[in-house]
């Protein structure tokens, strides 16, 4: 079996994830729904227990020992995130509930105050609803327009069309780094360069890239980057917004409440310094701490191994599934993350998903919160298998076998 890195084999990595050894309908679980959420290693689960068993308390508020320990761990995690994406300063890292909240924060605090009638917000045809609806809401309120970069039949951005849409009317470009539905890796660095040449700020939705691609925000030069903890082996309900300090300084708070203030009177409130100005109320303390542990775990496996192994799985998955008669891939971009979306002739994806589940195989079926993308391909839904570094070629064989059974059953 493949050696994962110098210290861990695939078996040892899988043993870190207790859930991977459970049975589903009497069969070993084959978890291929990693784009929806990843499983958690025991190092992350233990960090959550440790918090509640040993130092549960509120942060930034208490002089007592427990509060200081919780504050230290929470802030340590912020530094871990900062180093992970190579941000300049910890002030640029804001803990949110996830990608969705991060995008809503930027839409409401950065874009909306400066948006006027006739202005435009630019997104692409492959966005998740979380990177469509927040923009629609602010555009509707301000009489601005949502413009959409078209994609070709393989699921890639049409770059010349993108360049044409970059006009002085555009107030922000907000773009997925990786498509959740079809896995396309967008050329975000080149897009950011083009946008910046016209003075347009850029938000990168990294919900589906943070767990597959090493991200360096100083190299990308993005203005904003949003991601969710649960896609990178941390719990749900915690996420990150990276924003350049120059923007955060000018942005009004997104929500009001405790911790985001400096002084409060009925006449006037002054706000806390960055990043606390954007973290109103008691935050997801254990989630933030666990996110730090998840990143430490991720780093211990190493992005080198992760991208090599996941590319191998992607290639293997494509080659094994392409041998199945009646199977059609949706999304065949040259640059792809480990996500495979497909259709089977005459069989609805929901039926496929239900039948695969009987064999213990977990995939996602439906529109993947990307209805406009499905419309672009003229299809109602797909079946999506998405791979993590803990998946194996043997599991892909189980998927292929199970798909063959589905076809046989329906023929």
- Residues of the shown chain interacting with ligand C6P in the complex, contacts defined by CB under 6 A: 35-36, 98-100, 128, 130-131, 176, 180, 205, 207-208, 228, 364, 368-369
Nearer to ligand C6P, 272 or 341 (CB): 341
* Residue 227 C-beta: closest distance to ligand C6P, Å: 8
State how far the alpha carbon of 155 is from the alpha carbons of 15, 126, 180, in Å: 36, 8, 12
Nearer to ligand C6P, 77 or 100 (CB): 100
* Residue 338 C-beta: closest distance to ligand C6P, Å: 13
Which residue in the list 111, 121, 369, 400 is annotated as catalytic? 369
Nearer to ligand C6P, 32 or 139 (CB): 32
* Residue 337 C-beta: closest distance to ligand C6P, Å: 11
Nearer to ligand C6P, 78 or 368 (CB): 368
**369 belongs to the catalytic site:** yes
Residue number of the CB closest to ligand C6P reads: 180
Nearer to ligand C6P, 108 or 180 (CB): 180
Phi, psi of 341 (to 5 degrees): -110, 140
Comparing C-alpha atoms, which of 206, 201, 190 is closest to residue 81? 206
* Residue 15 C-beta: closest distance to ligand C6P, Å: 26
Nearer to ligand C6P, 80 or 100 (CB): 100
* Residue 231 C-beta: closest distance to ligand C6P, Å: 7
* Residue 131 C-beta: closest distance to ligand C6P, Å: 6
Known catalytic residues are 369
């Amino acid at each position: 079996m493949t050696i994962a890195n110098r210290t861990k084999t695939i078996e040892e990595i899988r043993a870190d994830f207790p859930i991977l050894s459970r049975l589903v309908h009497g069969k070993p679980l084959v978890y291929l729904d990693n784009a929806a959420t990843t499983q958690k290693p025991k190092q992350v689960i233990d960090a959550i227990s440790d918090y509640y068993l040993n130092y549960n308390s509120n942060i930034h508020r208490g002089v007592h020992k427990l509060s200081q320990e919780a504050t230290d761990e929470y802030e340590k995690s912020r530094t871990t995130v900062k180093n992970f994406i190579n941000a300049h300063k910890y002030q640029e890292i804001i803990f949110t509930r996830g990608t969705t909240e991060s995008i809503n924060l930027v839409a409401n605090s950065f874009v909306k105050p400066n948006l006027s009638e006739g202005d435009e917000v630019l997104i692409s045809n492959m966005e998740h609803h979380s990177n469509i609806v927040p923009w629609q809401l602010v555009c509707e309120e301000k009489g601005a327009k949502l413009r959409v970069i078209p994609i070709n039949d393989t699921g890639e951005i049409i770059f010349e069309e993108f360049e044409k849409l970059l006009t002085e009317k555009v107030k922000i470009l907000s773009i997925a780094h990786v498509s959740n539905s079809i896995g396309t890796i967008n050329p975000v660095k080149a897009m950011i360069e083009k946008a910046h040449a016209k003075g347009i700020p850029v938000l990168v939705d990294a919900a589906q890239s943070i767990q597959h691609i090493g991200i360096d925000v100083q190299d990308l030069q993005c203005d904003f980057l949003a991601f969710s903890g649960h896609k990178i082996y941390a719990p749900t309900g915690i996420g990150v917004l990276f924003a350049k300090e120059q923007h955060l300084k000018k942005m009004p708070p997104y929500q009001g409440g405790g911790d985001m203030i400096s002084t409060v009177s009925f006449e006037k409130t002054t706000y806390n310094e960055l990043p606390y100005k954007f973290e109103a109320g008691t935050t997801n303390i254990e989630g933030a701490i666990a996110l730090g542990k998840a990143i430490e775990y991720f780093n211990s496996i190493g992005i080198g191994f992760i991208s090599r192994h996941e590319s191998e799985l992607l290639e293997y998955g494509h080659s094994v599934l392409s041998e199945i008669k009646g199977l059609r891939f949706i999304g065949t971009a040259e640059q792809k993350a480990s996500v495979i979306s497909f259709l089977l002739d005459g069989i609805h994806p929901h039926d496929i998903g239900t039948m695969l589940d009987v064999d213990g195989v977990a995939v996602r079926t439906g529109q993947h919160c990307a209805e406009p993308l499905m419309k672009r391909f003229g299809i109602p839904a797909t079946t999506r298998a998405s791979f993590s570094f803990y998946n194996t070629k043997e599991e892909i064989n189980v998927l292929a076998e199970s798909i063959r059974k589905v076809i046989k059953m329906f023929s």
